[in-house]
Amino acid sequence: MSPLERVMRKGGAERVAASAIDEMRSAMLEIAERIAMDAIAACKHAKRTTVKREDIALATRGDRMERK
């Protein structure tokens, strides 16, 4: 069982289609890319080259995650 299938089952799914897992993987990658881009922007704004935990935390705050 893949980690994504485990997450979906933990959420209450009895059965999970392979296509659903593929779609979940795709959606999560898109979200992760947006977080990474926002975190890198925060890092550059702070004149650093290393992305830190606080950059990720800033990138995942409220309204930043809702835009597409």
Domain count, the chain: 1
Average pLDDT over residues 2-31: 95
Return the pLDDT at 1.
Answer: 85
CATH of the domain at 56: 1.10.20.10
The percent of residues in the chain predicted with pLDDT above 70, rounded, is 90
Q: Quick one: residue 52, left, alpha or beta (phi over 0 = left, psi -120 to 50 = alpha)?
A: beta
Is pTM, for the whole model, over 0.85? no
pLDDT at 3 over 90: yes
Which range of residues forms the domain containing residue 27? 3-66
Given a cut of 60, whether residue 14 has pLDDT beyond it is yes
Residue 49: CB atoms within 10 Å: 7
